[in-house]
Amino acid sequence: MEINNENAKWYALHTFSNYENIAKINLEAVITKYGLEKRIFDIVIPMEDVIEEKNGKKKLVQRKLMPSYILVKMIYGDDIWHNVTRTKGVTGFVGPNGRPLSLTDEEVAKLRLERVVSSMVLEPNDKVEVIGGALAGMNGVVISADGSKAKVAIEMFGRESQLELEYCDLRKLNA
CA–CA gap between residue 131 and residue 128 (Å, rounded): 9
Q: What is the pLDDT of residues 23-80, one digit of tens each?
A: 999 999 999 999 999 999 999 999 887 888 888 888 878 889 899 999 999 999 888 8
CA–CA gap between residue 101 and residue 170 (Å, rounded): 32
Task: State how far the alpha carbon of 93 is from the alpha carbons of 31, 40, 96, 138, in Å.
Answer: 16, 14, 9, 38
CA–CA gap between residue 27 and residue 31 (Å, rounded): 6
Q: What is the pLDDT of residue 175?
A: 58
Residues 150 and 144: beta-carbon distance below 8 Å: yes
CA angle 93, 94, 96 (to 5 degrees): 105
How many beta carbons lie within 10 A of that of residue 31, not counting itself? 23
Q: Which domains does the chain have, with CATH numbers?
A: 9-110 (3.30.70.940), 127-172 (2.30.30.30)
Q: What is the pLDDT of residues 103-114, one digit of tens each?
A: 998 888 888 787
β-pair type (69-74, 170-172)? unpaired
Q: What is the pLDDT of residues 111-146, one digit of tens each?
A: 878 766 667 888 899 999 988 777 888 899 999 988
Please compute the mean of the pLDDT values over residues 156-171 and round it to a whole number.
84
Q: What is the pTM of this model?
A: 0.68
Q: What is the pLDDT of residue 135?
A: 81
